[in-house]
Amino acid sequence: MIKNLGLLIVLTLITSSIFAQTNIRKGSSSYGTVLYNWDGENLRQGSSSYGSVIINWDGENIRKGSSSYGTVLYNWDGENLRKGSSSYGTVLYNWDGENIRKGSSSYGSVLYNYDGENIRKGSSSYGSVLYNTDGKIPTAILIYVIE
């Protein structure tokens, strides 16, 4: 009985973290209005997990709406965001694990930095917070939201 209860608790924790919703808010307050929410696949405006899907993501491609068969708006290779589905196209933005820059150069001006919770303009980790997140969200989706 106790073994089953322990297993149930573990499964509940795993399931709740898998289906957790990440919210994106303007500024640094975790109590502000939710601008967007992310469920791991779909981005929606506001806090409702039942609202219209703005974009969806399969881990590589960003498409408009909820269809996984629609036209690819952008593709992501883990470091570079490109327009369309070609992995050989022009790099719009790049990510080095902390900083977001325009184009493919890792030496260009830093547009934004992201520490896993706060998005700030420029390279300073002490600047004003533009947006905050309360969970994990792919960098490609963040770039889509802030740009």
Q: Which residues contact 70 (CB under 8 A, 6 or more apart)?
A: 63, 64
| pLDDT-derived band at 14, boundaries 50, 70, 90 | very low
Residue 4: pLDDT above 90? Answer: no
What pLDDT, on the 0 to 100 scale, is given for residue 20?
80
pLDDT digits (tens, 9 = 90+) for 37-96: 999 999 999 999 999 999 999 999 999 999 999 999 999 999 999 999 999 999 999 999
Q: What is the pLDDT of residue 2?
A: 62
68 and 58 in contact (C-beta within 8 Å)? yes
- pLDDT tens digits along 92-112: 999 999 999 999 999 999 999
The region that residue 21 occupies, defined by phi over 0 for left and psi between -120 and 50 for alpha, beta otherwise, is beta
